């Protein structure tokens, strides 16, 4: 099982195997899943792997995906690896080249990857789309959504590996840039990340892995959108607002994690912190998040529980005109306060969740999973003084609906297959 997962993940620490030079190898994975929630305000839960979300009606869009990894040896010490990923987006099943790079094995301890590479940030980073490779239906969103949408880098990385004690110590520095649409804006806004420089340090042994990573980059944002905002319960009036995401600044992300799969005990734990400055911080305030997963395997059954949290502080930064990111379309003293039209910066996500999950191993290539999460979006006014008094957690921040005021149940079921 672990051999299949390593191949599917395109694990950057391994050498692609092929029967001969120029032979092409195909490996793939599929997740067919449905999710729904019970938020009475009908917000979309955006905590997912891409520009999709969980709604109150059962939908297969959020978690259903298909991936195909293609690899080919083009010389004795050089190969080409790519992954095509199809996901449900806005009613369609769009396919993209998730990553594609040349792998050059310089010697026994150094490999060089150049092209569109997977950014090494998380524990399950190399196989985050391969649902079969981990216990959850989707990795804990409090941590794994924090770096979204920056999850690939167009550039170069170096993989240095050394045997140390019973395991392998690896260093993975990388450099590059990226341009992506900002999720949940309908393509109306995008970011450009330049001078991305980072490193991941990992130690892996039989049944355990520990890692720490850090990266920084210069970011420019462009675009925005308009919304008919319900900022307080009716009969409070609906306000026409403009959301301006334009800005620039620096971003720094630090993370660490550990996992254990030994003697039927399964454990994952990760922590991540994001820092931004200047006008970049208007839509992306400082955030930190963590989760812990505990499970125990009974034959083919793996029950598990995950505790997770995301917290932070909204930015008070303004643009050159002195405005926050969200403004009223026309001056409105009642809603915006004072005589101006500036309303707020983007409130950061503040929430905790508990997820109860069960995985059943159908065979060596398929697993059935069921999960139920209880999501608690912080609404205590005393806890939101640094968040403009408003909090959507990881629910949609288009402002068209009131944020969740009660705990929300998110239920999911999925079948994961590798081939």
Residue 22 confidence class, pLDDT cut points 50, 70, 90: low
- Taking every pair of C-alpha atoms in the chain, what is the biggest distance, in angstroms? 73
DSSP string, 128-155: TT-GGGSSSSS--HHHHTTTTT--EEEE
pLDDT at 237: 66
C-alpha 268/C-alpha 260 separation (Å) is 7
Domains of the chain: 39-50+130-418 (2.40.160)
Q: 11 pLDDT exceeds 60? A: no
Structure tokens at 353: 């969740």
Q: What are the pLDDT digits (tens) for 325-352?
A: 888 887 666 666 545 678 889 889 999 9
The helix/strand/coil state of 330 is coil
Output the pLDDT for position 336: 64
Q: By CB neighbour count within 10 A (0-12 exposed, 13-18 middle, 19+ buried), where does 369 fall?
A: buried
For residue 112 the two structure tokens come to 């060089």
Query: Quick one: pLDDT at residue 360?
Result: 98
Q: Are 250 and 276 in contact (CB under 8 A)?
A: yes
> Which of 142-146, 298-302, 318-322 is modeled with the greatest confidence?
298-302
- H/E segment holding residue 350: none
**Selected residue with higher pLDDT from 61 and 365:** 365
- The pLDDT confidence band at residue 205, using thresholds 50, 70 and 90, is very high
Summarize the confidence of residues 304-319 as an average pLDDT: 94
pLDDT digit string (tens) for 238-291?
778 888 888 899 999 999 999 999 999 999 999 999 999 999 999 888 999 999
* Helix residue ranges, H only, 139-237: 141-144
**Which of 11-15, 324-328, 369-373 comes out lowest in average pLDDT?**
11-15
Q: Terminus-to-terminus CA distance in the chain, angstroms?
A: 11
Specify the residue for token string 């092929």: 18
| Main-chain dihedrals φ then ψ at residue 238, nearest 5 degrees | -75, 135
Give the separation between CA 338 and CA 146, rounded to whole angstroms: 33
Better-predicted residue by pLDDT, 91 or 406: 406
More confident residue, 191 or 31: 31
Least confident piece of the model among 54-63, 100-109, 195-204:
54-63
Q: 12: pLDDT confidence band, cut at 50, 70 and 90?
A: very low
pLDDT: which is higher, 19 or 316: 316
Residue 404 buriedness (CB in 10 A; 0-12 / 13-18 / 19+): buried
How many Å apart are CA 3 and CA 203, to the nearest integer? 18
pLDDT of residue 184 exceeding 50, the answer is yes
**Cis before 400 (ω within 30):** no
Average pLDDT of the chain? 87
Tokens standing for 93?
A: 């099943």
């Amino acid at each position: 099982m672990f051999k299949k997962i390593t191949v599917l993940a395109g694990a950057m620490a391994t050498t692609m195997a092929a029967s001969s030079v120029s032979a092409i190898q195909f490996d793939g994975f599929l997740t067919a899943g449905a999710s729904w929630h019970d938020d009475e305000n009908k917000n979309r839960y955006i905590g997912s792997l891409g520009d999709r979300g969980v709604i109150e009606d059962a939908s297969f869009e959020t978690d259903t995906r298909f991936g195909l990894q293609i690899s080919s040896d083009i010389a004795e010490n050089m190969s080409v690896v790519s992954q095509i990923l199809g996901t449900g987006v806005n009613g369609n099943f769009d396919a993209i080249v998730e990553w594609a790079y040349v792998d050059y094995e310089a010697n026994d301890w150094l490999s060089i990857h150049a092209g569109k590479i997977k950014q090494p940030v998380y524990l399950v980073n190399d196989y985050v789309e391969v649902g079969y490779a981990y216990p959850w239906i989707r990795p804990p969103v409090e941590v794994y959504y924090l770096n979204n949408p920056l999850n690939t880098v167009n550039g170069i990385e170096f993989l240095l590996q050394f045997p140390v004690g019973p395991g392998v110590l690896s260093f993975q520095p990388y450099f590059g840039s990226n341009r992506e649409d900002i999720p949940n804006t309908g393509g109306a806004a995008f970011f450009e990340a330049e001078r991305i420089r980072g490193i991941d340090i990992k130690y892996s042994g039989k049944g355990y892995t520990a890692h720490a990573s850090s990266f920084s980059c210069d970011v420019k944002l462009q675009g925005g959108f308009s919304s008919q905002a319900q900022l307080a319960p009716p009969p409070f009036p609906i306000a026409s607002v403009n959301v301006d995401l334009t800005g620039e600044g620096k971003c720094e992300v630090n993370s660490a994690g550990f996992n254990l799969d030994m003697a039927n005990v399964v454990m994952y734990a990760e922590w991540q912190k994001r820092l931004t400055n200047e006008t970049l911080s208007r839509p992306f305030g400082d955030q930190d998040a963590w989760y812990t997963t505990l499970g125990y395997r009974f034959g083919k059954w793996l029950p598990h529980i995950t505790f997770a949290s995301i917290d932070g502080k909204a930015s008070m930064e303004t643009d050159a005109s002195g405005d926050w990111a969200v403004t009223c379309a026309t001056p409105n003293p009642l809603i915006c306060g004072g005589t101006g039209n500036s309303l707020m910066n983007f409130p950061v996500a503040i929430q905790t969740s508990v997820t109860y999950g069960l995985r059943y191993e159908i065979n060596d290539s398929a697993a059935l999973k069921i999960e139920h999460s209880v999501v608690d979006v912080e609404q205590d006014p005393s806890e939101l003084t640094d968040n403009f008094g408003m909090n959507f957690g990881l629910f949609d921040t288009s402002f068209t609906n009131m944020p969740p005021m009660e705990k929300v149940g998110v239920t999911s079921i999925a079948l994961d297959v590798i081939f």
